[in-house]
Amino acid sequence: MIIGALHSRPAQTVGELVITSSVSRATVYRTLHRLVSHGLVHHVGEIWILAPRRLGRLLGALTEAEVVPSRGWDEIASHHGTAGLSSSRKTYHAAERAMYRAALGRLAEHRSTAHVIVRDGRQVLIPAPRPDDG
């Protein structure tokens, strides 16, 4: 997110990066220091800029059709222990959604019966609360 924000709008302060990247201030600082350790960004006063030569080597050839990443990104992810994190999170969240749907299904099976009241001589059906209503 930080690299994307700096790529779309070069030379930003931390405050501006918080807004343009939609990331917390603490995460921006932590990420910037990690990017500095890999030579991907430079810090000049309060301004942070991308290191175009280093970033260019990591991205590989940039064409209009696509960006072809090199092994550099994989090396950085492995170094920081984040390789495969995205796919494991997707799997975890898919399982979490499936469990939630199953729990809603079980709750729906155990609905209480609706109540009927008489108002102005007419019967009015009061439905039972739904399991997903908070």
List per-residue pLDDT tens for the chain, 134 residues long: 898 899 889 899 999 999 999 999 999 999 999 888 888 888 889 999 988 765 555 555 444 344 444 456 777 777 777 788 888 889 999 999 999 999 888 877 776 667 888 989 998 888 776 666 65
- Sign (positive or negative) of CA dihedral 82, 29, 68, 70: negative
**What distance in Å separates the CA atoms of residue 2 and residue 41, rounded to the nearest whole number?**
10
Q: What pLDDT does residue 127 have?
A: 76
Q: What pLDDT does residue 104 have?
A: 87
**What distance in Å separates the CA atoms of residue 95 and residue 89, rounded to the nearest whole number?**
10
Helix (H) or strand (E) holding 41: strand 41-44
Q: What pLDDT does residue 133 have?
A: 64
pTM higher than the cut 0.95: no
DSSP H helices, 46-84, are 52-59, 71-79
**What distance in Å separates the CA atoms of residue 12 and residue 47, rounded to the nearest whole number?**
5
Q: Please check whether residue 11 is in contact with residue 49, taking contact to mean a CB–CB distance below 8 angstroms.
A: yes
**Crossing angle between the packed helical segments 25-37 and 14-21, to the nearest 10 degrees:** 110
Burial 69-107 (b: 16+ CB within 10 A, else e): eeebeeebeeeeeeeeeeeeeeeeeeeeeeeeeeeeeee
